[in-house]
Structure 1
């Protein structure tokens, strides 16, 4: 019987070294097994739904939207978790076991409706992780080390994703009907992740800070700088998110002139960006701990702009891959930013509250973005999509720049 993890102390600077050591050790393993799940949530699920279950066009946005529907419920999850009086790592392990059960249901489903129901439920549960993880990072790591340590975890997550993306893409190309084995692998990764994450030292969430889920949203207007940055994030995030399902559709649908194979879609839209994300993440983490946050965020946006202009003006696999490589670079920094940026602003005991407000708005834009993306795809040419998205990213960057002189940002 393994020993229970030591409770993580909650010092102001998160300086307890034993808690930090244990967190870093187990979190790296967690990152790899979470990475094994990554290609399944959108890329593989869409391929299975479209090419095995013959999913109609009007349902295609459901799978990409599922994670963002789940993020909207983060404020309810944080509130409910705060009342359980259980530590954050144990709560995450329960979430991952529930994911495993739902993926198993999708694996055994004989119809599209059941497949979608179980798989969407699994994804919704999976994205309840971030506010709990950020509470662990805030408590167990010092401010000047969070970017570096979390970037290593994200590299391992990318490595897991590349491994699963390569093997899964090859398997689906060989025989689409073997998809239940891929889903069985995802369920197993969830169970292993649950066992690993339970060993990470953590504290209970503050029940007073998270008691009222609606009150959690009040930090958006009470903290005006936080509210403005969330508005910037809304525009920037929606621009990127609406392109996620469109990238796959652009390569998969013969009418766009590419008609790529399952493996080529997995290679270009998942393996290439995950590789460049893995190679760039450590650099972004180093800069996060040392650079002004606003300047750092705008550098990431520049990578997004380049990717939109290249990808949607290309038909060759080389240039499609180059565009997705820039997306991967942007993701390398963007995932660190999305995970850790609230630690730049929030008091230690309110990090999960700030994070739940941030993720709830991510849920709003992410739910709408795939539907907007498919509408844009129907009404714009591919080069037009590239120009539109690049222009919106420029606007978001100027909005971020307006906060550069804030004293709270000048110190970050």
Structure 2
């Protein structure tokens, strides 16, 4: 029998079981439908822009950057949402309807400029979700179960992404002009997601804690441990994010000696890592709840390190797939850590504020990283790029280890 929606009470460690059960039910469905959108934001949008609209090189970084431009706006979104007094899940529902409208605009756009404007707007709106979702998780789940429960939603997200990536890659290989069908499907998924997420129990955001977007950012230097860890995440994120569009470029551009088909690119850069992400997520979620956070994060960094070195130093599909498998394993843990790590440090009433500061910095590095990546690729070959990014993971792991002296991190 389907659980009935509930209004979530203000919860401490002893979370209400009925609320947690309802949240878990609907969040799993939300995860699957969000997964159906996943390949569209970068992989398919880049293929459409490059191979249908013939997008020039200097604009290639715009689509990957849209996600992070949106994250930069998270603190302002949280402040605006706090003033509405509406339940968090209601706010997410409205965001998803707006996403559907923007994707519909991209579907019928006759020019590259309009396609980019509508699609980037949809992506910017979509990434206003994370600080709102983490507030729901913090309120509705107990500290010792968040990783395990949220990991299930990520597994279903990966399953949805694999299905969409496979079918979408096949469709674009048959005829690139099929892309409006893919975008229509994305818009429909946004509408369905809106109705699903609205059923998740939630409370309005704390108006006082989230009222000033600039005050929300001040937590970065007021809480020095949090600020140091954000710096660690900057190194990790920049090293990883600058490679994301280049993974597609590396396989698609004939000058690198691979010149793969649309389906091969979707298979290696999206489907393979999503499968491994799906298989590894539950393990990472369990470990997130059971072992020290620093040890947990360093293990993820090691997977990224290995994946970069294999992928950007390979030309055969099996080795490219192996490199992306390591990256997929890192993504499985990285998604959980990125979503939940602030719950290890932040007071329960300020989780969304800490998260918005975290996502704002993610937005900053993510906006710059694709442009940096393309610039670096113009001056370094992909092999040297892999060593730069792998070195970033070593540096970040060392920085995380230095945080071990903090009692808060030893207990995390």
Question: Is TM more than 0.5 here?
Answer: yes
Residue of structure 1 equivalent to 2:59: 59
CA distances 1:296-320 after superposition (whole Å, capped 9, x unpaired): 0000000000001000100000000
Question: CA 1:14–1:373 in structure 2 vs 1: closer, same or farther (change >3 Å)?
Answer: farther
How far apart, in 1, do the equivalents of 2:275 and 2:404 lie?
31
Q: Over residues 58-108 of structure 1, what are the superposed CA-to-partner deviations in whole Å (9 max), with x where a residue is unaligned?
A: 000000000000000000000000000100000000000000000000000
Residue equivalent to 1:294: 294
1:334-345 superposed matches below 5 A: 334-345=334-345
CA distance in 2, matches of 1:306, 1:6: 45
How many residues get paired?
411
- Structure 2 unaligned spans of 5+: none
Q: CA deviation at 1:5?
A: 3.2
Q: Is this contact kept in 2: 1:14–1:139, CA < 8 A? A: no
Q: TM-score, normalised by structure 2?
A: 0.99
The answer to whether the 8 A contact 1:292-1:410 is kept is yes
Structure 2 residue 107 is matched with structure 1 residue 104: no
Q: Deviations over 1:148-172 (max 9, x none)?
A: 0000000000000000000000000
Equivalent residue number for residue 404 of structure 1: 404
DSSP 3-state at the match of 2:199: coil
Matches within 5 A, 1:71-220: 71-220=71-220
Number of the residue aligned with 1:43: 43
Take 1:122 and 1:130, find their aligned partners in 2: how far apart are those partners?
A: 15
Counterparts in 2 of 1:225-236, with a 5 A limit? 225-236=225-236
User: 1:4: Cα distance to partner?
Assistant: 8.5
Secondary structure at the counterpart of residue 142 of structure 1: coil
In structure 2, the residue matched to 1:308 is 308
Measure how far apart 1:114 and its partner are.
0.3
Question: Is the CA contact (8 Å cut-off) linking 2:3 and 2:25 kept in structure 1?
Answer: no
CA gap of 1:7–1:261, structure 2 versus 1, over 3 A, is: same
Counterparts of 1:348 and 1:33, CA distance in 2: 28
Structure 2 Cα separation of the partners of residues 392 and 351 of structure 1: 28
**Aligned equivalent of 1:28:** 28
Please give the alpha-carbon distance, in whole angstroms, between the structure 1 residues aligned to 2:232 and 2:3.
45
Aligned-residue offset at 1:376 = 1.1
Mapped to 2, the partners of 1:93 and 1:107 lie a distance apart of 21
Give the whole-Å Cα distance in 1 for the aligned partners of 2:293 and 2:365.
Answer: 22
Give 1:325's aligned residue: 325
- 8 A contact 1:70–1:363 mirrored in 2: yes
Q: Under a length normalisation based on structure 1, what TM-score does the superposition of the two structures give?
A: 0.99
What is the CA–CA distance in structure 2 between the aligned matches of 1:377 and 1:161, rounded to whole Å? 28
Cα offset for 1:282?
0.3
Instruction: Assess if the C-alpha contact under 8 Å between 2:154 and 2:278 holds in 1.
Output: yes
Alignment-derived partner of residue 260 in structure 1 = 260
Tell me, in whole angstroms, the C-alpha distance in 1 between the residues paired with 2:382 and 2:184.
36
Q: Distance in 2 between matches of 1:77 and 1:234?
A: 22
Q: Give how far 1:409 is off.
A: 1.1
Runs of 5+ consecutive residues of structure 1 not aligned to the other structure = none
